[in-house]
Amino acid sequence: MRIRGAVLKRIGDERPYATSRPIAVVELELDEPGPTEVLVRIEAAGVCHSDLSVVDGNRVRPVPMLLGHEAAGRVERVGAEVDDLAVGQRVVMAFLPRCGECDGCRTDGRLPCTRGSASNNAGELLGGGRRLHAVAPLGDGDDAVGAGDDVHHHLGVSGFATHAVVDRRSLVPVDDDVPPEVAAVLGCAVLTGGGAVVNAGRPADGDIVVVVGLGGVGMAALITAVSLGRGPVIGVDAVPEKLARALELGASQALSPADALAAGLKAPVVVEAAGNVRAFETAVALTGVGGTTVTVGLPAPTAEATIKPLGITAEARTIVGSYLGSAVPARDIPAYAQMWREGRLPVEALISSRTRLEDVNAAMDSLADGAAIRQVILFGEDDAASSDDDQEAGHDHR
């Protein structure tokens, strides 16, 4: 079937991206789902730093690549071996599928799935290969592809499109009462930020939780820590508007990095969610005796931080890396949806703006400027209809 999607043609273009336009919204050919795969009509997709890090070259991925890894939509077709999803059901996409068989999958979320990580790095789906093909030539130089050639998937999702074919193990169903944009944000920002607190930090009653970096993931960590009600929650960021927003969302205090360090702030649990060296070093410095620094940010591969090892040893402190919030998506996404349903987790408050697929380059600029918490691309019925007017009705294999 024919779809429309936002394809990254080149890595490392000069900013502003709204001018250099490394991402093009184009027609693509999408294969039918394989036996263990599902065709999803996308309803909403969040714009995340993990997308920007591919655009700016901090995360090396093959191109051309259809971006987007935080998305939600409706099931339109299911493969012959998929018997637990129905056509019309709303699903959240998880950007790291779990095969359920490797050593990583046996760690209750602590380690990523080995097969899922390998397929993500190759720009493929978990079952192997690609389901996206160029309708017209795409890319430049050595990265160019011709009409009919494969286009890479982003983290097994490629959600910046009207439709996606994904592996069943990349999907978590949610009830219809969860709106599309809330469902989308559950799949990355909340899963990653919330999991950094719940699964990796594990604050005890009375513990202070500090969150360094208040973008989408950091703010999700903050509202999750507030929802637990175990102790004061403090936000740290260099952007005054984000500090003000943190206070509105229940933070006990909101401080600049300089003010937090000058005040001698120390906490048992500190989450770093900015993805840069200074933020990581600040988070380590703010961690108290016996405390845990949880780092979820993704800095450039060449980035190097400076810390004092003696303080780690003598004060019995721990530094923990947490990818995807150390989560098991099938377990954790329904739990966060229930917290939202009960009014304890204001996921809507993470959404700073809503935009269109055609404005994706400008959305990357806004993200790079530090102005956005979470931008969400919304798709309507008209987008789906225009992508393939001759699409046949889906079949329910249940």
Task: Please report where in the chains the tokens 């890396």 appear, as a residue.
Answer: 321
Are residues 129 and 242 both part of a single domain? Answer: no
Q: Is residue 296 part of a domain?
A: yes
Q: Is residue 133 part of a domain?
A: yes
Name the residue among 187, 240, 248, 242 with its Cα closest to residue 47: 187
Alpha helix (H) ranges present in the chain? Answer: 17-20, 49-55, 114-122, 180-185, 191-195, 216-228, 240-248, 257-262, 277-285, 309-314, 329-341, 360-368, 381-387
User: Is the confidence at residue 96, as pLDDT, over 80?
Assistant: yes
Q: Is residue 380 part of a domain?
A: yes
Confidence at residue 396, expressed as pLDDT on a 0 to 100 scale: 38
CA dist list (Å): 321 to 193, 195, 258, 344: 12, 12, 24, 26
Domain count for the chain, please give it: 2
Confidence at residue 398, expressed as pLDDT on a 0 to 100 scale: 30
Averaged pLDDT of the chain? 94
Confidence at residue 346, expressed as pLDDT on a 0 to 100 scale: 98
Confidence at residue 144, expressed as pLDDT on a 0 to 100 scale: 85
Bridge partners, residue 3, by sequence: 28
172-190 pLDDT tens trace: 999 999 999 999 999 999 9
218-235 pLDDT tens trace: 999 999 999 999 999 999
Are residues 153 and 280 both part of a single domain? Answer: no
Q: Residue 12: is it exposed, middle or buried by C-beta count within 10 angstroms (0-12/13-18/19+)?
A: exposed
pLDDT band at 395 (very low <50, low <70, confident <90, very high): very low
Here the CATH number for the domain that contains residue 94 is 3.90.180.10
Q: What is the DSSP letter of 357?
A: G
Task: Please report where in the chains the tokens 């349903």 appear, as a residue.
Answer: 341
Are residues 316 and 196 both part of a single domain? Answer: yes
Q: Is residue 397 part of a domain?
A: no
Name the residue among 247, 301, 251 with its Cα closest to residue 271: 251
- Label each residue of 145-212 as H, E or C: ECCCCEEEECCCCCCCECEEEEEHHHEEECCCCCCHHHHHHHHHHHHHHHHHHHHHHCCCCCCCEEEE
Here the CATH number for the domain that contains residue 314 is 3.40.50.720
Q: Is residue 19 part of a domain?
A: yes
Write out the two tokens for 387: 């992508």
Are residues 313 and 357 both part of a single domain? Answer: no
Residue finishing a domain among 308, 325, 342: 325
Confidence at residue 60, expressed as pLDDT on a 0 to 100 scale: 87
Domain that holds residue 148: 2-173+352-387
Are residues 306 and 194 both part of a single domain? Answer: yes
Are residues 240 and 311 both part of a single domain? Answer: yes
Give CA–CA dist 60/364, Å, rounded: 17
DSSP reduced 3-state for 325: helix
- Alpha carbon 79 to chain centroid, angstroms: 25
pLDDT band at 388 (very low <50, low <70, confident <90, very high): low
pLDDT band at 142 (very low <50, low <70, confident <90, very high): confident
% residues pLDDT > 90 (the chain):
90
Other CB atoms within a 10 A radius of the CB of residue 386 amount to 13
DSSP reduced 3-state for 280: helix
Are residues 252 and 163 both part of a single domain? Answer: no
Confidence at residue 387, expressed as pLDDT on a 0 to 100 scale: 59
116-131 pLDDT tens trace: 999 999 999 999 999 9
| Mean pLDDT in residue range 354-376 | 95
Confidence at residue 394, expressed as pLDDT on a 0 to 100 scale: 40
Are residues 22 and 159 both part of a single domain? Answer: yes
Are residues 24 and 156 both part of a single domain? Answer: yes
Task: Please report where in the chains the tokens 């900015």 appear, as a residue.
Answer: 274
pLDDT band at 397 (very low <50, low <70, confident <90, very high): very low
Name the residue among 210, 225, 226 with its Cα closest to residue 283: 210
Four-CA torsion 298, 37, 85, 105, nearest 10 degrees: -50
User: Is the confidence at residue 260, as pLDDT, over 90?
Assistant: yes
Are residues 165 and 60 both part of a single domain? Answer: yes
Are residues 212 and 315 both part of a single domain? Answer: yes
Q: What is the DSSP letter of 247?
A: H
Write out the two tokens for 364: 């990357």
Q: Is residue 227 part of a domain?
A: yes
Are residues 247 and 277 both part of a single domain? Answer: yes
Give CA–CA dist 178/186, Å, rounded: 10
CB distance 151 to 133 below 8 Å: yes
Residue finishing a domain among 307, 325, 343: 325
CB distance 272 to 296 below 8 Å: yes
Q: Is residue 341 part of a domain?
A: no
